[in-house]
Chain A
Amino acid sequence: MGRSHLGEFEELVLLTVGVLYDDAYAVAITKEIASQSGRSVAVSAVHKSLYRLEEKGMLSSRLGESESKRGGKRKRLFNITPFGKKALDESMDLRMSLRNRISDLAFNWQRD
């Protein structure tokens, strides 16, 4: 199992899977990320991240029902695993702790 830390885009995908609980599949995730972040996202990038996260054990997946708008094909739905939540929390904690360690002085640009 390759690296255990999260890449920026992977983290975004992992978060979105959580947000879209029980309806998290590639198309919905792509759209959600696009609308929330305002940047254009390729579905292939999302695919790549989803499969990699599943390989790392941070996501679990199952096949859904077949739908006519998908040409009768089933979609793969993803859920966060406990390991995924842990990775997400660790990542968030790391950020928060670093953010909190920044002294106010660093943001005080009117000093001189």
Chain B
Amino acid sequence: MSKRVTIPKIPHAFFRWYCKSDRYEELHGDLEEFFFERVAESGLVKARLLYWRDVMRCCQPYAWKRPRAYSNSNIVMFKNYFKTSLRSMMRNPLSSFINVFGLSVAIGISLVVYSFVAYDLSLDQFHENKNEVYLTTIRADRNGEEVRYGLSPTPLGQRLEEDFAQISKVARVKDRSVVIKNEDKVFYESLRFTDPAFLEMLTFPLKWGNEDALQDVNSIILSESMSVKYFGQKNPIGEDILVKFDDEHRKIFRVAGVAEAFPDPHIIEFGFLVNFQNLKVADPSFDTANWADLLDATLIQVPNPGDLAAIRAGMDKYRALQNDVEKDWKINSFDFELLADLHLNAGGIEDAISYDYTEPGRVILPIIALLMVFMACSNYINVAIVSSARRLKEIGVRKVIGANRGKVIVQFLAENVLLTFFAMLVGIILAYTLFLPWLAGQAALPLTLSPTDPNLWLFLIFVLLLTGLASGIYPALYISRFGVTRIFRGSVRFGKKSLLTKVFLGFQLVVACITITGAIAFTQNTLHINSRSWGYDQTSALYTSVTDKSAFDQLYAAMSKSPHVRSLSGSGDHLGVVKSQAVLRLPDRQYEVDQLSVDAQYLETMGLNLQAGRNFKPNPDNDRQSVIVNQTLVENMAWANPLEETITIDSVRYQVIGVIEDFHFHSFYSTVKPTLFKVADEQSYRFLSVRARQGGEKETYAALKSEWAKLFPEVPFQGGYQGDVWLGFFEEVDIQERFMKVIASIAILLSGLGLYGLVTLNVAGRTREFSIRKALGAGIRHIGSNILRQYLMLSVIALAIAAPISYTAINANINMLYPDPMPLTYTVVGLAMVLLVCILLAVISTQIRKVSKSNPVAGLRTE
């Protein structure tokens, strides 16, 4: 043998690993003997293989090391830990209940917040090309501020496709409101004109029909809900459906596809899709080469994300093209937003096809969940430290029979994880049965917690470890610290003077104060908003949209006969529903304002208050060159004498003839914008507004509807009470109020429970002291002040800290939701503090009462 033959290393190592040491020598000796013989007989390769086989075959119980469990007491000890922790939980039902309940509420809330955030983050994430598709956005100056829009010039999509090879697909999107009719079903709908690539770029699989259908200009694709609305459950492929773009332009489309129901977490959706070229049918003047015209969206698909920089760099030439044509509204730059990020960034993009309505929730809910977890953990820590006095003997005994500090820490942590686990089970039940349905109902979101979601399980484990460790680590360290001799000598004193306990209790009071302030502030805010003036008289005003002038005239004639109608008015725009934009040309800049085209009766009919100047004259021709402006506009222009000013729109000069009090066009979510009123061209009347006589609103509404149905059976009625145009807004305000109230109740509950547990345990620990005091003649007042004193300083300091924090936090919260909210006063904070102090006193007085009723003899005899 030229080379020394050795035993193969890997199987040998394996053998050493599993083989018990006292049999290793003889067993491996046998294997080696075989191995060397075989090397000599049939070569190294075969010998190695057979050695492998032998090692595997010998891997049997007779050769195994004994598992460690039998030789080690760890498992036995853990069993004992769990037994003792269960016993101690049973022995202190009050503190166990406070801990388990508090933690489970906190965990339940965390779960619901998880569900919300998971839902929010999954919005529009089902599109397969979400990392390749971009929305083209533009930036433009609006009254001196650069604003980003999700719109784009009409020709841009076509040019991008021609100019950049890196762009594989382009889909232009334009939405128009149309009337869609199938037999007796006639409704206003939003119709989307788009390129066939739309369905390839976005993942909207079809239930019936195929995606190529959009190539055909005569085809229409319906969403599932629209298919059900117009055709019921049957398959509508091949059916005809009539689209009325306006009075003169209509077209019959053939249904060529029905989309599957959109996945739940989605924002981008559609009701009806037709080929982009149909825009020409809807509006013959539509010009695809007009850079001044804006589309609702231009989507591009860039398969290689690295190419985007090159595209971005090449966008400047389009800016020049647009700026040449549209001098009043120049685009500053183009940008792109990835579909996957669109929802989260949509808050910063105006008029985008996606939007971000969940931002307040995304910010506030996790904070609330964290606060609740922190409160529950503080409760746990406080109660654990105070109640561990009863377990000092147990710890002492454990230490005497050999447990070191580490073992005691492990014991307490294990106990804690067990408790947190119970809490988690209860929390899951709470989340499923109570919190989740509640939040889903309030927010009208399809929130779910799916057991098949692997992230949910990760989150649960994370929460278990986080709350388990956060709440357990300090008590474990604290309790394990005491030496055996001190424990048995009885010289351990703790609980009363622990700074941390006080800090935690103080923190809970602060959180409770903040949430109570929030609940009161939001309640007040709701009252304030409901009673707040809209700037015009929305009560007993009604409106309906009309299709054209002749329809307006017919309805006007019919309604003027009604005895309940006080005044009628026609307009092109309408408060709370439709407005237009106008650009004022000032010497140094352009100024964008809202514009409403109305007739002479409009101000009176809608109850708008003229502050200075005069109304339009009844004959519209007298005031073609006049405008009435609102106060905000006057203030922004810094006009000292507005009635002498003129403004220029589209190179026409207008004389300001009146100033009107500020009014809220949109809900209180948005600020008052500078607005002007112009005389409407009679042909452009699209709304009929009605002011009913006091008490005649219902009859007027009924008359309006029935006259409409009589005159235009084919066109759906679109109108109602003016007071209902903000219906969604008021619902949201209500939801916020209810939400804050629930959160405040939970916070009060948690802090109250924590305080109750703490006071109870403290008082119980001082039974002997109080008994002696009573035996020596102390009255209830003396004992009460003794107990109160312990918490007085703490509460005072906590409330002193809480007041400014509550004020700023709730102010920031309300300011985030409303641009000009009801000013938050210190009265609200004061009210919250009074409420909190009452709760504190109520909790403490239960214990004072208990002590005063107890027999001192019984208290002394227990020792």
Once the chains bind, are B32 and A44 in contact (CB under 8 Å)?
A: no
Q: How far is the CB of A68 from chain B (nearest CB, A)?
A: 9
The residue on B at minimum CB distance from A70 is B29
A44 cross-chain contacts in B, Cβ below 8 A: 54, 57-58, 60
Q: Which of B25, B36, B54, B62 contacts A43 (CB 8 A)?
A: B54
Bitwise interface map of A from 38 to 53 toward B, beta carbon under 8 Å scored 1, else 0: 0000111101100110
Q: A26-B26, A75-B30, A76-B26 are in contact. List 20 more A-B contacts (CB 8 A).
A: A26-B30, A27-B33, A27-B34, A43-B30, A43-B31, A43-B34, A43-B54, A45-B57, A47-B27, A48-B62, A52-B62, A69-B32, A70-B29, A70-B32, A70-B33, A71-B36, A73-B29, A74-B25, A74-B26, A75-B26
Once the chains bind, are B63 and A47 in contact (CB under 8 Å)?
A: yes
B57 cross-chain contacts in A, Cβ below 8 A: 42-45
Give complex CA distance A67, B29 in Å: 9
Residues of A within 8 A of B (CB): 25-27, 42-45, 47-48, 51-52, 63, 67, 69-71, 73-76
B37 cross-chain contacts in A, Cβ below 8 A: 69
Once the chains bind, are B29 and A71 in contact (CB under 8 Å)?
A: yes
B29 cross-chain contacts in A, Cβ below 8 A: 67, 70-71, 73-75
Q: Indicate whether A73 sits within 8 Å of B60 (C-beta atoms), given known contacts A27-B33, A43-B31, A43-B34.
A: no
B858 contacts partner chain A, Cβ-Cβ < 8 Å: no
B612 cross-chain contacts in A, Cβ below 8 A: none
Q: Which of A25, A45, A51, A52 contacts B30 (CB 8 A)?
A: A25
Q: Indicate whether A69 sits within 8 Å of B36 (C-beta atoms), given known contacts A42-B57, A44-B57.
A: yes
Give complex CA distance A63, B25 in Å: 10
Bitwise interface map of B from 544 to 564 toward A, beta carbon under 8 Å scored 1, else 0: 000000000000000000000
B174 contacts partner chain A, Cβ-Cβ < 8 Å: no
A42 cross-chain contacts in B, Cβ below 8 A: 54, 57
The 10 closest A-B pairs by CB, nearest first: A73-B29, A44-B57, A70-B29, A76-B26, A71-B32, A44-B58, A26-B30, A70-B33, A51-B62, A27-B33
Which of B7, B26, B37 lies at the interface centre, i.e. has the most chain A CB atoms within 10 A of its CB? Answer: B26
Q: Indicate whether A73 sits within 8 Å of B28 (C-beta atoms), given known contacts A27-B34, A42-B54, A43-B34.
A: yes
Q: How far is the CB of B323 from chain A (nearest CB, A)?
A: 88
Q: How far is the CB of B38 from chain A (nearest CB, A)?
A: 12
Once the chains bind, are B62 and A73 in contact (CB under 8 Å)?
A: no
Q: How far is the CB of A77 from chain B (nearest CB, A)?
A: 10
Give complex CA distance A76, B27 in Å: 9
Once the chains bind, are A47 and B62 in contact (CB under 8 Å)?
A: yes
The residue on B at minimum CB distance from A55 is B62
Give complex CA distance A71, B25 in Å: 10
Q: How far is the CB of A48 from chain B (nearest CB, A)?
A: 5
The residue on A at minimum CB distance from B59 is A44
Give complex CA distance A37, B25 in Å: 28
A48 cross-chain contacts in B, Cβ below 8 A: 60, 62
A27 cross-chain contacts in B, Cβ below 8 A: 30, 33-34
B34 cross-chain contacts in A, Cβ below 8 A: 27, 43
Query: Could you write out 22 A-B pairs with CB less than 8 Å apart?
Result: A26-B26, A26-B30, A27-B30, A42-B57, A43-B31, A43-B57, A44-B54, A45-B57, A47-B30, A47-B58, A47-B62, A48-B60, A48-B62, A69-B32, A69-B33, A69-B36, A69-B37, A70-B29, A70-B30, A70-B33, A71-B28, A75-B33
Bitwise interface map of B from 718 to 754 toward A, beta carbon under 8 Å scored 1, else 0: 0000000000000000000000000000000000000
Once the chains bind, are A63 and B26 in contact (CB under 8 Å)?
A: yes
Bitwise interface map of B from 24 to 51 toward A, beta carbon under 8 Å scored 1, else 0: 0111111111101100000000000000
B58 cross-chain contacts in A, Cβ below 8 A: 43-44, 47
Q: How far is the CB of B382 from chain A (nearest CB, A)?
A: 59
The residue on B at minimum CB distance from A25 is B30
The residue on B at minimum CB distance from A77 is B26
Give complex CA distance A67, B25 in Å: 12
Which of B7, B32, B37 lies at the interface centre, i.e. has the most chain A CB atoms within 10 A of its CB? Answer: B32
Q: How far is the CB of B217 from chain A (nearest CB, A)?
A: 80
Once the chains bind, are A71 and B7 in contact (CB under 8 Å)?
A: yes
Q: How far is the CB of A28 from chain B (nearest CB, A)?
A: 9
Q: Which of B25, B54, B63 contacts A73 (CB 8 A)?
A: B25
A71 cross-chain contacts in B, Cβ below 8 A: 7, 28-29, 32, 36
B54 cross-chain contacts in A, Cβ below 8 A: 42-44
The residue on A at minimum CB distance from B55 is A44
Q: How far is the CB of A49 from chain B (nearest CB, A)?
A: 10
Which of B25, B28, B34, B37 lies at the interface centre, i.e. has the most chain A CB atoms within 10 A of its CB? Answer: B25
Q: How far is the CB of B724 from chain A (nearest CB, A)?
A: 86
Give complex CA distance A49, B152 in Å: 86
Give complex CA distance A74, B63 in Å: 17
Give complex CA distance A54, B484 in Å: 51
Q: How far is the CB of A58 from chain B (nearest CB, A)?
A: 16
Give complex CA distance A47, B29 in Å: 12
B31 cross-chain contacts in A, Cβ below 8 A: 43
Give complex CA distance A100, B32 in Å: 45
Once the chains bind, are B7 and A73 in contact (CB under 8 Å)?
A: no
Q: How far is the CB of B98 from chain A (nearest CB, A)?
A: 56
Q: How far is the CB of B679 from chain A (nearest CB, A)?
A: 105
Bitwise interface map of B from 487 to 520 toward A, beta carbon under 8 Å scored 1, else 0: 0000000000000000000000000000000000
Q: How far is the CB of B30 from chain A (nearest CB, A)?
A: 5
Bitwise interface map of B from 201 to 226 toward A, beta carbon under 8 Å scored 1, else 0: 00000000000000000000000000
Give complex CA distance A81, B33 in Å: 27
Q: How far is the CB of B849 from chain A (nearest CB, A)?
A: 71
The residue on B at minimum CB distance from A29 is B30
Give complex CA distance A47, B62 in Å: 8
Give complex CA distance A44, B30 in Å: 10
Q: How far is the CB of B33 from chain A (nearest CB, A)?
A: 5
Q: How far is the CB of B277 from chain A (nearest CB, A)?
A: 81
Contacts of B1-20 to chain A: CB distance below 8 A: 7
B36 cross-chain contacts in A, Cβ below 8 A: 69, 71
Give complex CA distance A44, B57 in Å: 6
The residue on B at minimum CB distance from A74 is B25
B62 cross-chain contacts in A, Cβ below 8 A: 47-48, 51-52
Give complex CA distance A15, B632 in Å: 114
Give complex CA distance A73, B37 in Å: 15
Q: How far is the CB of A82 from chain B (nearest CB, A)?
A: 24
Q: How far is the CB of B701 from chain A (nearest CB, A)?
A: 94
B26 cross-chain contacts in A, Cβ below 8 A: 25-26, 63, 73-76
A63 cross-chain contacts in B, Cβ below 8 A: 26
The residue on B at minimum CB distance from A45 is B57
The residue on A at minimum CB distance from B63 is A47
Give complex CA distance A82, B729 in Å: 99
A25 cross-chain contacts in B, Cβ below 8 A: 26, 30
Q: How far is the CB of A72 from chain B (nearest CB, A)?
A: 9
A75 cross-chain contacts in B, Cβ below 8 A: 26, 29-30, 33
Give complex CA distance A64, B564 in Å: 121
Give complex CA distance A76, B54 in Å: 18
A70 cross-chain contacts in B, Cβ below 8 A: 29-30, 32-33
A47 cross-chain contacts in B, Cβ below 8 A: 27, 30, 58, 62-63
Give complex CA distance A43, B33 in Å: 11
The residue on A at minimum CB distance from B26 is A76
The residue on A at minimum CB distance from B57 is A44
Which of B29, B37, B58 lies at the interface centre, i.e. has the most chain A CB atoms within 10 A of its CB? Answer: B29
